[in-house]
Chains A and B, each alone.
Chain A
Amino acid sequence: QKEVEQNSGPLSVPEGAIASLNCTYSDRGSQSFFWYRQYSGKSPELIMFIYSNGDKEDGRFTAQLNKASQYVSLLIRDSQPSDSATYLCAVNIRGRDDKIIFGKGTRLHILP
């Protein structure tokens, strides 16, 4: 069973600080990694994806991937109250079986 693990939280971070969200995955064949944000009662929305080891930055968000450790993280700089949401990590295992497996999500609460 291919798994994606996240700490459920809640993770509380002061406004303006850096929020760090972590995810581990079990299948070494995983090729693509995604971070989604989901507000209560809404659909998940894609924040960013990453393929290669290292960092990928998009505005206040940075995704970090370490395939050797099977670890992917999301950093949110200058956290805002509007960042309070559940963050979902997802993994795409390539092949004809092109399935996307989600973690259970981490609840993030930004303290004003």
Chain B
Amino acid sequence: DAGITQSPRHKVTETGTPVTLRCHQTENHRYMYWYRQDPGHGLRLIHYSYGVKDTDKGEVSDGYSVSRSKTEDFLLTLESATSSQTSVYFCVSRFSGEETQYFGPGTRLLVL
């Protein structure tokens, strides 16, 4: 399996606090994605990146921001967490020109 890690793996936070999730990959993958997965909604794309400092919004980007200052790291920030952002967050990465995508283990976030 590709070396993709996410941290933290579990987090409980309070409404209104900022939260940052980290995705780290050791495969030199160009493309990285953040998804959230919720019952009844499936996997929805939040933000994605096609290179360092090159990011774009997905379908559910409101309330989230991202940064990619190094190839290996893709950070997702919830600027002011809300209960609707309680979810499982997955990071995905892949090489440019290749179809195989690699999922991280996921982060379970609970916003109280």
**A and B are partners in one complex rather than unrelated chains:** yes
A interface residues, Cβ below 8 angstroms from B = 1, 32, 34, 43-46, 49, 88, 90, 92, 96-105
Q: How far is the CA of A100 from the CA of B90 in the complex (A)?
A: 13
A46 touches B56 (CB 8 A): no
B45 contacts chain A at the CB level, 8 A cutoff: yes
Summed over the interface, the residue pairs from A and B with CB atoms below 8 Å come to a total of 42
CA distance in complex: A46, B59 (Å): 22
Q: Is the interface of B mostly helix, strand, loop or mixed?
A: strand
Binds A, one of B15-23, B68-76, B77-85, B101-109: B101-109
Which label, helix, strand, loop or mixed, suits the secondary structure of the A interface? strand
Q: How far is the CA of A34 from the CA of B44 in the complex (A)?
A: 16
Give chain B nearest CB distance to A6 CB in angstroms: 8
- Nearest B residue to A1 via CB reads B59
Are B41's CB and A49's CB within 8 A? no
Q: Is B112 positioned at the interface, with any CB of A under 8 Å from its CB?
A: no
Expressed in whole angstroms, the Cα–Cα distance for A96 and B54 within the complex equals 11
